Amino acid sequence: MKTGCRTEALQFTSKDRLQPAIALLSVVTLTMLPLRQASRRPDAKTRKATTIIDRSYVEVLSLWRHQKIRRDWTVHEFYYALARLGGHQN
């Protein structure tokens, strides 16, 4: 959570503003950690992404990446497409 979501870099100065941001980032972290672990497994290039990520996430990201919905994405394909949103160059 500290590295991936950069919670320490948040620029909120009051507790009332910081707590909701940390709560939201906690949900993101709980979604991303299993994805990261699955992407490191030997079967990441054959395992369907929908086995660990909601189908709607796969559809939206594949639509962004390929301009069409692809429900057959593997964990590897989903993980690296998501990383591209964050600036990963492949």
pLDDT (tens digit per residue) in 23-48:
887 888 888 889 999 999 999 999 99
Mean pLDDT of the chain: 84
Give the pLDDT confidence score for residue 62 in this predicted structure: 93
- Burial label, 53 (beta-carbon count in 10 A; 0-12, 13-18, 19+): buried
Contact predicate 62/73, CB 8 Å? yes
Give the pLDDT confidence score for residue 23 in this predicted structure: 83
